[in-house]
Amino acid sequence: MISRSGISVLRQARTQLRTAGPTPVASLSALARLLSSLAVLEQKDGKLNQGSLGAITAAKKLGGSITGFVAGGNIKGVAEEASKVSGIEKVVSVDNSAYDKQLPENYAPLLVENIKKGGYTHIIMGHTAFGKSLMPRVAALLDVQQISDITAIEDEKTFVRPIYAGNAIATVESSDDIKIITIRGTAFAAAEAEGGSASMEHGADPKAESTTEWVSENLAKSDRPDLATAGKVVSGGRGLKSKEEFDRIMLPLADALGAAVGASRAAVDSGYADNSLQVGQTGKVVAPQLYLCAGISGAIQHLAGMKDSKVIAAINKDADAPIFQVADVGLVGDLFDKVPELTEKLNK
Amino acid sequence: MSGLRILVPVKRVIDYAVKPRVNKAQTAVETAGVKHSMNPFDELSIEESVRIREKKTYPSGVEDILAFSCGPPKSADILRTAMAMGADRSIHVEVKEGDEPEPLGVAKMLKAVVEKEKINLVFLGKQSIDDDAGQTGQMLAGLLGWGQATQASKVTFDGDGKGVTVEKEVDGGTETVKGVLPMIITADLRLNEPRYASLPNIMKAKKKKIEKMAARDLGVDVGRRLKTLKVIEPPPRQGGGKVEDVDGMIAKLKELGAI
């Protein structure tokens, strides 16, 4: 094991030397550090997405130097924000509004160009909608097999990721020279936004055209906490019976707890709640301090999205529902009575 | 302007309702004797392709719907299902059970098929429910240099037969993008409701052609880049038992420090 990892370290050192090109100083520091990670950070409307800072936390676990990457129009403010993040050494930014709409067709060539220029060994990004659409394209362009949605890092080439809707945990070792990784946000907390003082650099801009253009977006507006990062989540299922009841029963409970609102696939499919609220294998994966669900039976696909929650509480009238096998606190009863009573008592 | 030539890759996976078990040697998930079916997202891709044909939503129609699968001999069953749902023919790249290529390898095979069969639209599922990687469509788009729209919940074609407008599921809501053919689209759950294959269609599907080939016939190296060192069961959660009433629930949540 030791000798094998030694060989790989040597190989990486050689790769570094090769790609470092005409700057001997850079290659010396590369030798001293071997590992160099690029954390791809997301921004929207000139604001750094704090959730994307988990990539820096993952990079810290790897060791080695950490560079942040941001792109978009008027990116200076975002780059400055990123440069203050703790643990980051350098921020590479590309100022071009063509990258604002997060289109993988032009963003992937942009990233590839900067990866080649920087000679990074690890490229890390959140397993978000953008990360999911972008990174496999980047990986293919670099002829690398991506490692998706990792939950832990064992060493520079060994990663842990859930498969089969979280029913199995695989440890995989990558033989690629560049590791392209997306991380599960709930497994890597965002790095602190303060304390860093990274240098700033302009990245390369290949200005690739995108055959696809952005038309519009329709984002659910809410004053409640963001589902993916909320400390508390209340979630409703088919048992709510209608959208009116969902809103009448679940929203006051969410407000009483200061929680985000989630839903099962059944509730979403029936139109009780918006698609973006779906928790599960194909929706959001959440791991809050408290996950309180009502009218959810606990299908495998739903459990995949919430079973790493610290405390799970469930209200269901079926005492044999699978949700009770994972719930820390279970209450058998009619949610139309129990949830309003709970809301009222929490408000006191 | 020619008709659509659609490629739909499908994967045989453990049925979504089965709880997977890790084998004793902790090398993989037990697949022997376990019910398998078509990856649910791939059903949506087939369904959508067939609907484009039936509803004539593409101006010059659908010329061909080609299903593709790379997997063990039994993957042929999945291809029959795809053809019973309306695919015209299939390609089966046969590999040994447990020897399925990684997404990059599959994407390379698909690229070869796209070029050979003059495909102008590839409809994939957004992820397979076994590996949960969610990469193949995007990788294929990258290899071909085509536009991509992932997690599609609605697909419409322009009257000129070039533009494709796709509504995508993204974090926090939906986003609409417009691409041009040829293109890669991956299906999200909300795209449609797949049909059940009727008995007459299942019978008809038996006469449709499955072309068998090997990865090397496509001139593709599908060597693995990732080595699975270990597969384990996740730590089981201890159900904490039940409480009698709402007061009991609040007390327990307080005790656990959750509120």
pLDDT, one tens digit per residue, over B170-199 is 998 999 999 999 999 999 999 999 999 999
Chain B CB within 8 Å of residue A216 CB? yes
Could you tell me which of A40, A111, A45 has the C-alpha nearest to residue A77? A45
Residues 6+ apart with CB under 8 A from B207: none
Q: What one-character-per-residue DSSP string does A112-166 give?
A: HHHHHHHT-SEEEEESSHHHHHHHHHHHHHTT---EEEE-EEEETTEEEEEEGGG
Three-state SS at A246: helix
Most confident listed range (A31-35, B1-5, B78-82): B78-82
- Chain B contact for A329 (CB, 8 A cutoff): yes
Under the banding of pLDDT at 50, 70 and 90, the label for residue A11 is low
The one-letter code for the residue type at B137 is G
Position A22 pLDDT exceeds 50: no
Q: Could you identify the residue written with the tokens 């629930």?
A: B249
CA distance A82 to chain B (A): 22
Amino acid at A235: S
pLDDT band of A20, cuts 50, 70, 90? very low
SS3 A290: strand
Those residues with Cβ within 8 angstroms of residue B82's Cβ, 6 or more apart along the chain or in another chain: B8, B10, B38, B42, B46, B67, B90
User: Could you tell me the pLDDT band of residue A21, with boundaries at 50, 70 and 90?
Assistant: very low
pLDDT tens-digit profile of A257-311?
999 999 999 999 999 999 999 999 989 999 999 999 999 999 999 999 999 999 9
**B252 at the A interface (CB within 8 A)?**
yes
- B35 CB within 8 Å of a chain A CB: no
The verdict on a CB contact (< 8 Å) between B103 and A167 is no
3-state secondary structure of A243: helix
The pTM of the full predicted model, rounded to 2 decimals, is 0.91
A176: its two tokens: 């690629």
pLDDT computed for residue A222 by the predictor: 85
**Interface pTM (ipTM) of the complex?**
0.96
SS3 content of chain A, % helix, strand, coil (to 5): 40, 25, 35
* Contact (Cβ atoms closer than 8 angstroms) between residue A290 and residue A310: yes
A-contacting residues in B 155-214 (Cβ below 8 Å): 165, 168-180, 183, 188-190
Dump pLDDT digits (tens) for B159-171. Answer: 988 899 999 999 9
Across the interface, do A212 and B127 touch by the CB < 8 Å criterion? no
Does the beta-carbon distance from A140 to B234 stay under 8 Å?
A: no
Partner residue opposite A342 with nearest CB, options B29, B225, B249? B249
Is B181 in contact with B120 (CB distance < 8 Å)?
A: yes
In SS3 terms, chain B reads as CCCEEEEEECCEEECCCCCCCECCCCCCECCCCCCEEECHHHHHHHHHHHHHHHCCCCCCCEEEEEEEEEECCCHHHHHHHHHHHCCCEEEEEECCCCCCCCHHHHHHHHHHHHHHHCCCEEEEECCCCCCCCCCHHHHHHHHHCCEEEEEEEEEEECCCCCEEEEEEEECCEEEEEEEECCEEEEECHHHCCCCCCCHHHHHHHCCCCEEEECHHHHCCCCCCCEEEEEEECCCCCCCCCEECCHHHHHHHHHHCCCC
Q: Measured between beta carbons, which residues in chain B are less than 8 angstroms from residue A342?
A: 246, 249-250
**Angle (nearest 5°) at CA A83 between A81 and A87:** 125
Under a CB-based contact definition with an 8 Å cutoff, are residues A255 and A278 in contact?
Answer: no
Task: Report the DSSP pairing between strands A43-44 and A47-48.
Answer: antiparallel
Torsion of CA A307, B14, B141, B44, to 10 degrees: -90
B204: its two tokens:
């008809």
Cβ neighbours of B178 in A, within 8 Å: 212-213, 215
Both tokens assigned to A225:
């906490």
Which residues 61-120 of B are in CB contact (within 8 Å) with A? 102-104, 107
- Looking at residue A8, its pLDDT comes to 52
Per DSSP, what are the bridge partners of residue A66? A37
Q: How far is CA B178 from the centre of its chain?
A: 22
CA distance B84 to chain A (A): 26
Taking CA atoms, A70 is separated from A45, A65, A137, A195, in Å, by 13, 17, 18, 19
For chain B, percent of residues with pLDDT exceeding 90: 91
What mean pLDDT is predicted for residues A84-97?
97
Q: Which residues contact A42 (CB under 8 A, 6 or more apart)?
A: A48, A49, A51, A52, A102, A126, A128, A130, A131
